[in-house]
Amino acid sequence: MEGLAGMTLALAQGGSSLAILGAAIGCGMIIIGAGFGIGMIGGKALEAQARQPENSGRLFNTMIIAAALIEGVTFFALLVCFLAVFWSK
């Protein structure tokens, strides 16, 4: 019982280190997911342009808008991770 209580107390006192670890893992997952998403958008847009070159202008605009939305969500998620680090102190 003393081991569990001691571990709980250590987690409560060292919460900032756990927040930093969680934020680091979260930041990594966010960056990997955003990179994968933007890469998929670029690949599929190039594939669509190869199939229908006459629609390349419209596809490019749509691709840029989708990539910007993904980056916006990524920056918001990174902000939440950084707040978890600095708010826990």
Residue with tokens 């958008």: 41
Per-residue model confidence (pLDDT) at position 18: 72
Domains, the chain, ordered by start: 15-87 (1.20.20.10)
Contact 45, 60 (CB under 8 A): yes
Q: How many other C-beta atoms are found inside a 10 Å radius of the C-beta of residue 71?
A: 13
What string of pLDDT tens digits covers the 89 residues of the chain? 455 444 444 444 555 677 677 777 888 888 899 999 999 999 999 999 999 999 888 999 999 999 999 999 888 888 887 777 777 55
Per-residue model confidence (pLDDT) at position 3: 53
